[in-house]
Amino acid sequence: MTTRSLNPGVTLRGRYRIIGLIGQGGMGSVYKATDLRLEGRMCAVKEILPNLMGDEDDPVAYQEQFYQEASTLARLDHPSLPKVSDYFSENEREYLLMDFVPGNDLGEIIAGAKRRSEFLLEDQVLEWIQQLCDALAYLHTRTPSIVHRDIKPSNIKLTPSGYIKLVDFGLVKLLLADESRTVTVVQGRGTAQYTPLEQYGGDTGHTDVRSDIYALGATIYHLLTLTPPVDARQRFLQPGSLALPRTINPAISPATERAILAAMAMHPDDRPPSIEDFSDLLFSPHDIVTIGTTYTLPDPSWSEAIRSNSILLLMAAVLLLITFLISTNSTLL
């Protein structure tokens, strides 16, 4: 099966004319196209190859799987999600047609902030994340529940009007009622820095809404520190290798740092159990965990405790030194 890109000018289904390639990766390609039937309408065309789904030996099962997933996505209606308007097969490839979302993705915004050597403002980042939490709550409460599994800065766009859009559904997973099987458009593990450990098993691993919560926490970490977090495999092999956010950007509030670390807990049971719980933790900070929740906030490390109380420790050291000098002088006299 060839993975050759579609050339500009190619028309799909007699309607969608390819303008150019937007992005390409292990999970497929995305193109910008114009809708010949609706003049002036721009589309994003997601192309998926059978060999990327692992079903190239069973094309019928592959196509049924794709259509089930695509029809679910087409029913979604949320301001922070692009609308899926069409899906079809052509030349042994599957296509999803979505609204084209203008603007820069958050990965580009991070890169711009790094070039300026300026951290992004926490209030601005949290405004974006609040919109994203609302979109994820919508996905997670569908029937069946939808887990995105590839949340990362480059999959989140900031439109010129200031709204957030979660633009890529490449690894999306449907959680069926009995969880005896799942439906996944494209098998894969996501991007390492934002992928929880349980997702490294592909579709054999148990992923649920808490996997999205980990990825969201890792995304906030990257946005506020301008540094991608250490991936889960390295954290498993080297406990303590994840730098605390406030050691990189001291302007981050302690409450936001605690929420990030809770979301990025290695074991799913130690994370907030739902996006609503995480949102409450992030936007209604408190020192005592809400009664009834099933997770606990991570204890700060000794290095964080020392850093947070450095002034008190310095004063204590000075007092000890003065006491020692007075004691020494008294002895000499």
Residues 6+ apart with CB under 8 A from 210: 196, 268, 271, 272, 273
User: How many CA within 13 A on the CB side of residue 23?
Assistant: 12
CA terminus-to-terminus distance, the chain: 93
**And the tokens for 32?**
């910008």
Choose among 94, 107, 105, 97: nearest CA to 32: 97
DSSP label at residue 111 = H
DSSP string for 45-100: EEEE-HHHHT-TT-HHHHHHHHHHHHHHHHT---TTSPPEEEEEEETTEEEEEEE-
Catalytic residue among 57, 77, 105, 150: 150
328, exposed or middle or buried, with CB in 10 Å at 0-12, 13-18, 19+? exposed
Distance CA 185, CA 67 (A): 9
* Residue 150 is among the residues annotated as catalytic for this protein: yes
**And the tokens for 214?**
């980990």
Choose among 72, 219, 85, 93: nearest CA to 147: 72
Q: Do 133 and 275 form a contact (C-beta atoms < 8 A)?
A: yes
Sign of CA dihedral 154, 160, 162, 166: negative
Distance CA 12, CA 14 (A): 5
Residues 6+ apart with CB under 8 A from 75: none
Q: Is 328 helix (H, G, I), strand (E, B) or coil?
A: helix
Tell me the CA distances in angstroms from 167 to 37, 114, 256, 275, one per residue in order: 23, 23, 25, 19
Where in the sequence numbering do the catalytic residues fall?
150
